Structure 1
């Protein structure tokens, strides 16, 4: 979860003013060699008063403005690439293998 923001706007469904909450999440792609976040940021608007998801079709202009502001805050998470130990092991094994092949194939003078 990147960012969560509470809104004071009226809910388009129940017209409550204290239950709206934006949630911004970013999925992480992970395999045996590395872990990195996806470039897309997913957002969700949920009303805790009426217990419903509010879809963008029902958003008012005020909600869209608050959404744009909160999305800018959520996008401050930088892209990174975190390699795992298996990646380093394979790189070292490849270097050793290439060095062994070069050593055995080049005749000694």
Structure 2
């Protein structure tokens, strides 16, 4: 009886570690579109960080006003392009998700 209780306690202690190996994944693995979206989001964060660093460098006197404006304009154009791509991918995923659940579209 003591051995049975010990085995049960060990099993219960290991259960949280073992469960993920036996679960089937509910979501599909990341597809190429999702991977691309994550890469775009990462790049957007890097561009935002670069703009903040650029502002800091200008305020610290490391950049002239002309260099600052030129670099900021370049970063802003890249950020706009990234946001358009991200929005486009979000619209594609939003319209594609309804048809994939098997509901008829009207």
TM-score (norm 1): 0.31
Structure with the bigger percentage of strand? 1
Structure with the bigger percentage of helix? 2
TM-score (norm 2): 0.32
